[in-house]
Amino acid sequence: MKDVLKLRDVSFSYRDYSVPPVRKMVLEHLDLTLPEGSKTLLLAPPDNGKSTLSRLLCGMVPKYLEGDLSGSCLLDGVEVTSREPWDLVESCVLVGQNPQEQLLMTTCEDELAFPLESLGMPAERMIRVVRNSLWKWKLMDFATISPQEMSGGERKRLLLAFLDTVPAPIWILDEPFDDLDSQWRETLMQRITDHFGTVLVLASRYIDEFRGSFDRYGILANGAVTLGDEQDIVIEYEQLCDREYTSVESCTEEHCGRILACSGVSLVHPRKSVKDNTPFTLEVPAFTLRSEEIVSLVGPNGSGKSTFSRVLCGLDPPREGEFLLDNQAVARRDLSRTVGYLFQNPDYEIFLPSVREELAWSLRGDRSRTAQQKAALVAECAQLFHLELDATPSTMSYGKRKQLQAAVHYLLDRPFYILDELDSGITYATAFEMISLLRSRGAGILLITHDRSFSDRLSQRTYTISNGTIHELEGQV
pLDDT digit string, tens, across residues 199-208: 999 999 888 8
So what's the pLDDT on residue 249?
Answer: 47
Superfamily of domain 3-241: P-loop containing nucleotide triphosphate hydrolases (3.40.50.300)
Q: Give residue 86's pLDDT band: very low, low, confident or very high (50, 70, 90).
A: confident
Q: Give residue 100's pLDDT band: very low, low, confident or very high (50, 70, 90).
A: confident
SS3 397: coil
pLDDT tens sequence across 250-259: 455 567 789 9
- Domain layout of the chain by residue ranges: 3-241, 259-472
Quote the Cα angle for 311-314-320, to 5°: 50
Q: Is the pLDDT of residue 332 over 70?
A: yes
Least confident window among 42-56, 174-188, 247-261: 247-261
- Across 299-309, b (16+ Cβ under 10 Å) vs e yields bbbbbbbbbbb
Tell me the helix, strand and coil percentages in the chain, rounded to 5.
35, 25, 40
Please tell me the CATH code under which domain 259-472 is placed: 3.40.50.300
DSSP 38-66: -EEEEE--TTSSHHHHHHHHTT-TTTTS-
So what's the pLDDT on residue 280?
Answer: 83
Contacts of 357 (CB under 8 A, 6+ apart): none
Q: What percent of the chain has pLDDT over 70?
A: 94
SS3 188: helix
pLDDT tens sequence across 226-251: 999 999 999 999 888 875 444 444 45
Mean pLDDT for 45-52 is 90
Q: Is the pLDDT of residue 271 over 50?
A: yes
Intra-chain end-to-end CA distance of the chain, in Å? 46
So what's the pLDDT on residue 21?
Answer: 64
Mean pLDDT for 71-83 is 92
So what's the pLDDT on residue 275?
Answer: 54
Q: Give residue 85's pLDDT band: very low, low, confident or very high (50, 70, 90).
A: confident
Q: Is the pLDDT of residue 274 over 60?
A: no
Q: Using an 8 Å Cβ cutoff, are 114 and 104 in contact?
A: yes
So what's the pLDDT on residue 272?
Answer: 59
3-241 and 259-472 in the same fold: yes
**Of 102, 117, 101, 108, nearest in space to 158 by CA:** 108
Q: With left for phi above 0 and alpha for psi between -120 and 50, is residue 402 left, alpha or beta?
A: alpha
Mean pLDDT for 447-458 is 90
So what's the pLDDT on residue 95?
Answer: 95
DSSP 410-432: HHHT-SEEEEESTTTTS-HHHHH
178-183, Cβ contacts within 8 angstroms, sequence gap of 24 or more: 178/97, 178/421, 178/424, 178/425, 179/152, 179/153, 179/155, 179/301, 179/344, 179/421, 179/424, 179/450, 180/153, 180/156, 180/301, 180/450, 181/153, 181/299, 181/300, 181/301, 181/450, 182/450, 182/452, 183/300
- Which contiguous run of DSSP H or E holds residue 30? strand 25-35
So what's the pLDDT on residue 270?
Answer: 73
SS3 354: coil
Averaged confidence pLDDT in the chain: 90
Q: What percent of the chain has pLDDT over 90?
A: 72
Q: Using an 8 Å Cβ cutoff, are 267 and 307 in contact?
A: yes
pTM, to two decimals: 0.90
So what's the pLDDT on residue 246?
Answer: 43
Q: Is the pLDDT of residue 477 over 50?
A: no
